[in-house]
Amino acid sequence: MKSSEKRAVLTFSDATPGITLPIYQGSVGPEVIDIRSLYGKTGMFTYDPGFLSTASCQSAITYIDGDRGKLLYRGYPIEQLAAQCDYLEACYLLLYGELPDRDQKQEFVGLIANHTMVNEQMHLMLRGFRRDAHPMAVLTSMAGALAAFYHDSTDINNPKHREIAAIRLIAKMPTLVAMAYKHSVSQSCPYPNNALSYSGNFMRMMFATPCEDYEPSDVLVRALDRIFILHADHEQNTSTSTVRLCGSSGTNPFAAIGAGIACLWGPAHGGANEACLGMLQDIHAAGGVARIGEFVARVKDENSGVKLMGFGHRVYKNYDPRARLMRETCHEVLGHLGVDRDPLLQLAMALEKVTLEDEYFVSRKLYPNVDFYSGIVLRAIGIPVSLFTAIFALSRTVGWIAQLNEMMADPDYRIGRPRQLFTGTVLR
C-alpha cells in the first residue's frame, strides 16, 4: 500500500486535541484512513458494527467493484476465468498469484490428485454421525478433524506446513463432501479416481455406486467446474474474515477452515443458495408466476421479515457478475438436459424481471447475487438441496486458504481482537 499526500484531520467539538491520521492508497478502490494510533492518542475507539466502513487487512488476491459489478481474481475478470480456465487453474492463480504455465499446471494437478484420499480412520468417524445429519454439520467436523490426522501440516507459522495444508484441503474437500452425501443416503463412498478431472472425480464420487459406475457428461462437469470457479474467492466476506480471525490466534489451518465452513452455513451467507431454492419451490407450490406479485408485496412489507433470497449484497450495488454467468450456465445445463422449460427457472426469470422494475429493489440497489441461479443449476445436475452449501464450501476452500496464507505472511498481521462500546452495568 502507498501513503497518500493527503491526511485525515480529526477534530472534536470539546477541548480534546485534534489528531492527524495517515491515508493509504490501494492499487484501485477506496483509500483507507489508518486509525491504528487513534486509541493511543485519544483514548477512543471507532464504532462500526458489521464492519461497514472498516478494511481489516490489505490484500492482493481479489478485487470487487461493487458499484460497477466487477470481480477480479488477481487482476483477471471473472468472466475471462469462467470462460477460459478450469477450477484448478483458478486455484493456482489465487494461491500463487499467476496462472500456471503447462508444466506448472501438470505438476499442480498431480499434486492435488495425490492428496484426494482421506485417512481411512475418517470413514470410521463418518459412521458416528446420524444419517439425517445436515451435510454442513458433518463437513464442519470433518474439515476440523483433518488436524487430528495430518500432524505434519498443522503449524500455521511454518510456510511449508501452510502450503501442504492448502494442497490437502483443496484435494480432500470433494472427498469429504461426497462422503457426507453418501452417508446421508446410506451408500458407501467410492474412493477418488485420480484419472478424472477435479470436478469429474467429484461427480463420480457423488453418483457412482459399487454396482454402477457413473460417467459424467462434459456439459455437466464444465457447469460444476464453473460453479467452483465463481465461488472460489470473494475478498473479505463473512466466512473469509472468520477464517482470518480464527487463524490469527495461531490455530492450525484445518481448524481455521472448519470455522469458515461453520460461518458459511448461515442463510445470510452461503446458506442462501439452499434458502433461495426453497423460496422458489414455495412460490411454485403456491401457484408459481401468478403469485409473484403477492410474494414481492410480502418482501416489501418491513414487518413481514421476509427477504428475497439470492438478492442483495453488502458490496454489489449492481448486478453480481457471477449471477450473470450462472444464469448463462443455467440455460446451458437445462438445455443440455432437455428441461429448459423448468418451472423454477421460468419462475426465477419472472421474479428477476419484476424486481428489476420495482422501485423498492431499484432504490435499494438490490440485484440477483450468485445464489439466485446456482441452486437451479445444482439441482439440475442432481445435487441434493441439503448439499448446496457444502458445494459452496468446497469451492471457497481455496479462497479461504489463500487469504489465510496471505495474512500469515503480512508483516502487519496481529491477532484479530475488536473492541466494544460497553453499555452494561458498571459495578454492582
What positions carry a catalytic annotation? 313, 371
Binding of ligand ACO by 311 (CB under 6 A): yes
Q: How far is CA 368 from CA 110, 111, 124, 194, 410, in A?
A: 37, 37, 41, 36, 34
Cα(14)–Cα(19) distance, integer angstroms: 13
Nearest distance from C-beta of residue 302 to ligand ACO, angstroms: 6
Query: Is residue 78 involved in binding ligand ACO (CB under 6 A)?
Result: no
To ligand ACO, the closest distance from the beta carbon of 357 in angstroms equals 15
Q: Which position among 309, 377, 398, 408 is part of the footprint of ligand ACO (CB under 6 A)? A: 309
The single-letter DSSP state of residue 315 is: S
Residue 312 in contact with ligand ACO, rule: CB under 6 A = yes
User: Residue 159: how many CB atoms within 10 A of its CB?
Assistant: 12
Q: What is the CA radius of gyration of the chain?
A: 23
Would you count residue 310 as binding ligand ACO (CB under 6 A)?
yes
CA nearest neighbour of 278 among 251, 300, 301, 309: 309
Nearest distance in Å: CB 312, ligand ACO: 2
Burial class of residue 305 (count of CB atoms within 10 Å of its CB; 0-12, 13-18, 19+): exposed
Residue 204 C-beta-side C-alpha neighbours within 13 Å: 19
Pair 25, 1: CB distance under 8 Å: yes
269 is a site residue for ligand ACO (CB under 6 A): yes
Query: Is there binding between residue 399 and ligand ACO (CB under 6 A)?
Result: no
> In this chain, which stretch among 35-43, 65-73, 100-108, 268-276 interacts with ligand ACO, using CB under 6 A?
268-276
Of 60, 83, 148, 268, which lies in the binding site for ligand ACO, with binding defined by CB under 6 A? 268
**Per-position x/- string for 281-300, each x denoting binding to ligand ACO as judged by CB under 6 A, each - no binding:** ------------------x-
Q: What are the angstrom distances between the C-alpha of 112 and each of 58, 116, 200, 223, 321? A: 28, 7, 14, 21, 29
DSSP state of 262: H
CB 152 within 8 A of CB 161: yes
Q: Does 62 bind ligand ACO (CB under 6 A)?
A: no
Grid cell locating 130: 446420524
Q: Does 366 participate in binding ligand ACO (rule CB under 6 A)?
A: yes
Q: Which is nearer to ligand ACO, 203 or 272 (CB)?
A: 272
- Tell which one of 41, 284, 307, 336 touches ligand ACO (CB under 6 A): 307
Cβ atoms of 220 and 336 closer than 8 Å: yes
Selected binder of ligand ACO within 81, 370, 404, 408 (CB under 6 A): 370
Q: Among 70, 105, 291, 314, which residue sits at the site for ligand ACO (rule: CB under 6 A)?
A: 314
CA distance 105 to 397: 19
Closer by beta carbon to ligand ACO, 387 or else 408: 387
Residue 5: count of CB within 10 angstroms of its CB: 6
**Applying CB under 6 A, does 369 fall inside the site for ligand ACO?**
yes
Q: Which residue from 156, 166, 205, 308 is in contact with ligand ACO, where contact means CB under 6 A?
A: 308
Nearest residue by C-beta to ligand ACO? 312
Residue 272 makes contact with ligand ACO by CB under 6 A: yes
Comparison of 268 and 290: residue with beta carbon closer to ligand ACO: 268
Stretch that binds ligand ACO, among 129-137, 199-207, 310-318, 408-416 (CB under 6 A): 310-318
Site of grid cell 475478498: 235
Binding interface with ligand ACO (CB under 6 A): 268-270, 272, 299, 307-314, 364, 366, 369-371
